[in-house]
Structure 1
C-alpha cells in the first residue's frame, strides 16, 4: 500500500466531474424557467384552419381594392390623437384599427374610430407607442369584416401612413 495516495475529496478529477454535473443541472433549470416564463405560443392549435382562412383575407383585400379604398393615418405623438382619412366608396359609422406588434401578441391594441366628417375618423391613444407596428383597418372588429386595409409604421412618427389593400 502506498502512503502518498490522497483521499478522493482532495483529488482534482472527482471535483471536476461533480462540477460538470452541477453546471449541467444548473443550466437545465435556468433554461426550464426561461422557457416556461417566456413561452411564445408560436404554434397555433388551429393552424390548418388559419391556413385555409388566407383565402378569406385575400377576398377582403380584393373587395377593398374594388371599392377603391385607401386611408391616410396620422398619429399625433403630443396629444395621442389618431386621425384616419378614408377615401373610396365605403363610409361606415366607425372603423376598427388593429395595431399588431410583430413579436408579441400581448402588446397588440384595438382602437375604435368614430366618424366625424366626410371620411374622417378620430380616436385617442392612452399612451404613446414605440417600435414597429403593423396596422389593419376594417369597418368592424373580427374576421367578419367586409374589407381590410393594411400598412406598417415605426414609432415615434408624426408622418402620415398610407394604408392600402394588401397582405
Structure 2
C-alpha cells in the first residue's frame, strides 16, 4: 500500500488560512504608519509655551510694536515674485527684515523672505515660490526663522490672494 505524498506547506489551504490575516495586518499597519508620519499635525508656530497643562500666550513682541507705533503695508507682485514692504514707526529702521508666510494647514509650505532695505522704511524681497489663497503673515527684524520668539517686535496679519495682493500689518491689540 502506497502512502500519499505530502504537499509542501505552501500548497496546503490551512497554511494560507492562518497566514493570510497576519500578512494583511502587516500590510495595513505599514500603510497606516506611513500615512501617520507623512501627514502628522504641524506644530503651532507662535509664541506659546507649555506650562503644566495650560498654554500661555506671550504678547511682549506685540506690545513692543504697539509702543513703537509700528504699522506696515505689504504689497505682493506675484508674477515677478516680488514683495515690497512700507514700514512706519518710531524706531531705528533695521537693514533687513524677515517676512514669514505661514500656510494655514501645511507647515511644509511656509516661506521665509528676507527683505532688504531700499530706503528708510521701504523694503523688498523675493518670494521663493508662487503663492495663492490664504496665508498668515509675520514681519519682524531679521533673524533666524527658528528664533522668532527672540525678536524685539513683530507685526502680524493675514492675506487672501483671492481678494487682493496688498495687506496692512498692525500691532496686535491685547
**TM-score band w.r.t. shorter chain:** 0.7 to 0.9
1:82 match: 83
1:131 and 1:80 map into 2 onto residues whose CA distance is 15
**Once the two structures are superposed, what CA deviation does each residue of 1:134-157 show, in whole Å capped at 9, x if it has no partner?**
100001222221100000112356
**Once the two structures are superposed, what CA deviation does each residue of 1:21-43 show, in whole Å capped at 9, x if it has no partner?**
69x84765543432233223559
The reply to whether residue 160 of structure 1 matches residue 166 of structure 2 is: yes
Conserved 8 A contact 1:102-1:133: yes
2:69 match: 68
TM normalised by structure 1 equals 0.72
1:116 match: 118
1:100 match: 102
Q: How large is the RMSD of aligned CA atoms in angstroms?
A: 3.2
2:40 and 2:109 map into 1 onto residues whose CA distance is 15
Q: Which runs of 5+ in 1 are unaligned?
A: 1-8, 10-14
Paired residues, number: 148
Q: Which runs of 5+ in 2 are unaligned?
A: 1-12
2:44 and 2:67 map into 1 onto residues whose CA distance is 34
Q: 1:154 to 1:115 in 2, by over 3 A?
A: same
